[in-house]
Amino acid sequence: MIIRTRRNSDIPSSEITPESAFINRRRFLGASAGIGAAAFLSRDAAGSPLSTRQDEEPNTWEEITTHNNFYEFGLDKKDPSRNAHTLVTRPWTVKVDGLCNKPGDYQLEDFIKPSTIEDRVYRFRCVEAWSMVIPWRGFPLADVIRRAEPHPSAKYVAFATLWDPEQMPERRWKPRIGWPYREGLRLDEAMHPLSLLVNGLYGKELPNQNGAPLRVIVPWKYGFKSIKSIVRMTFTEEEPPTTWATQTPGEYGFYSNVNPDVSHPRWSQATEKRIDGSRFFGSRRIDTLFLNGYADEVAHLYEGMDLQKYF
Ligand code: MTE
């Protein structure tokens, strides 16, 4: 992973307009007291009064769309918002293949259409120890997996991002990162109701820099598992190779569950910088939660596994 020292200018300061024009931000938060549960907001439940705690306040549109990692568009946090306009997101095809009964090349609209779109607020924790709270719009990853009818032998699902050097300016890192960017999940992780395919943010279309037109979000794992702009899903029996675990195996693993007790070889994961443009330094430090606060929902997936080992 590329760690860069953040300049103050990376985070816009006080001028941020909350997305209150779209919806009262607090209404997004469905989790009482914030710890543990994911925040769900179905469209028709949007009016219910909900409580939150201060560090669960969603980040602003500005913060979420100008502080990004999308290395195909550059290595600086600001580069994706500057460069990703060159990504052509329509038409878009997602290939489904590997060990399943319904492989095929699906047009984006057909891929999404059968699912019910929901808004959900999740914590987002990057392995670089910064975090945000993000109101995604999307649908369960489990929907498309069920429709693909994976074979009983399928144990994993692998994802790949588009790689088109004509649209993606960051060619220098091709040999090192080995694009296309690849990620993967165990099938039961991918089927978990918290795992999403996301096509929107703050109720609007997903901006290119955040992974348009369709990305994965797995909120209890470090952000690099949440692969952007996917063009392929492949069902496999073996654990698939993934970008960062292949590139730097001593530092990144396949599981990459958020764990404050397991330090990265080069820095602690005990705390995180919550991006907060209203603060002078553009962030505030908070404790990192085990499994990013989703332990009640997902810890059972790892029963019998030594989580200290599965970085
Ligand atoms: N997906 C692709 N294709 N390329 C990337 O560089 N970066 C990952 C992940 N998905 C990345 C990617 C990392 S390291 C993080 S932290 C998140 O995207 C950042 O998502 P965001 O920019 O929407 O916050």
Please tell me the predicted confidence (pLDDT) of residue 307.
81
Please tell me the predicted confidence (pLDDT) of residue 208.
98
Tell whether 307 is covered by a domain. no
Secondary structure of residue 37 in the 3-state scheme? coil
Place of tokens 């910088």: 273
Q: How many residues does the chain have?
A: 311
Q: Which residue type, as a one-letter code, is found at position 233?
A: M
Please tell me the predicted confidence (pLDDT) of residue 152.
98
* pLDDT tens digits, one per residue of 216-232: 999 999 999 999 999 99
| CA–CA distance, 311 with 306 (Å, rounded to integer) | 10
- Residue 45 CA to ligand 1 centre (angstroms): 30
Tell whether 10 is covered by a domain. no
Is the C-beta atom of 210 inside 6 A of ligand 1? yes
Q: Which of 224, 244, 269 to mutate to test the pocket of ligand 1 (most atoms within 8 A of CB)?
A: 224
Please tell me the predicted confidence (pLDDT) of residue 175.
64
Domain that holds residue 259: 19-302
Residues 27, 29, 35: CA angle, nearest 5 degrees: 155
Tell whether 268 is covered by a domain. yes
Tell whether 1 is covered by a domain. no
Tell whether 135 is covered by a domain. yes
Place of tokens 């931000």: 25
Q: Name the domain count of the chain.
A: 1
The widest CA-to-CA distance across the chain, in whole angstroms, is 54
Q: Which residue type, as a one-letter code, is found at position 247?
A: Q
Tell whether 11 is covered by a domain. no
| CA–CA distance, 76 with 10 (Å, rounded to integer) | 9
Please tell me the predicted confidence (pLDDT) of residue 55.
64
Please tell me the predicted confidence (pLDDT) of residue 257.
97
Is the C-beta atom of 70 inside 6 A of ligand 1? yes
Taking CA atoms only, the protein residue closest to ligand 1 atom 5 is 70
Whether the CB-CB separation of 47 and 309 falls below 8 Å is answered with: no
Q: Check which CATH number belongs to the domain holding 71 and give it.
A: 3.90.420.10
* E strand or H helix that includes residue 25: helix 25-28
| pLDDT mean by block of 10 residues, the chain; 311 residues | 34 33 37 35 34 72 97 94 97 98 98 97 97 98 98 98 91 75 98 98 98 98 98 98 93 96 95 93 94 97 85 69
Tell whether 4 is covered by a domain. no
Tell whether 198 is covered by a domain. yes
Please tell me the predicted confidence (pLDDT) of residue 159.
99
Please tell me the predicted confidence (pLDDT) of residue 180.
95
| CA–CA distance, 60 with 264 (Å, rounded to integer) | 28
